[in-house]
Homo-oligomer: A and B are copies of this chain.
Amino acid sequence: MTAMTPARTAPDLSYLLDHTSHVLRTRMSAELAEIGLTARMHCVLVHALEEERTQAQLAELGDMDKTTMVVTVDALEKAGLAERQPSSQDRRARIIAVTEEGARIASRSQEIVDGIHRRALTTLPDGDREALLRALNHLVDGHLATPAESPRPTRRARQREQ
């Protein structure tokens, strides 16, 4: 399912944000899939291109778990878009080096992402577009900066092998 559609008393900001972000996400997935990427692969490629970064740093930037990072880097290596290289600073760490092909793909994926955003934004009147971005940035930096801590039904410890 995609989003709730509750009856409304105050303007249903949740519905508006859920719906728009969901639709954008499906477009990103669909268009990035055409060049063999997921959103996460795109995210890692772009950040790895900016400067030398380890898996842990890239995971932090993309807000991914380190185990999710492993499968993402596996996919990038398998596609020939990046390679794990030993760090000279820390022999535990791996630098993610983007290949030439990876850099080409990254510039195409960035165009795709920018295009999706631009096409959506240009359908809005100039004033509303600017106000929308200003308002969203305001919320992200302020009242909606941090998630409520999830009342996660703390997962039970795994059964020990014996």
Contact = CB atoms under 8 A, between A and B. Distances in A.
A53 interface: no
A23 B150 contact: no
Contacts of A24: 13-14, 17, 144
Describe A's contact surface by its main secondary structure.
helix
A149 B2 CA distance: 12
Interface residues of A, number: 78
Interface in A123-155: 123-124, 127-129, 131-140, 142-151
Contacts of A142: 123
Contact of A138 (B12, B62, B110, B123): B123
Interface of A: 1-7, 9-14, 16-31, 33, 39-40, 42-43, 46-47, 50, 61-65, 68, 110, 113-121, 123-124, 127-129, 131-140, 142-151
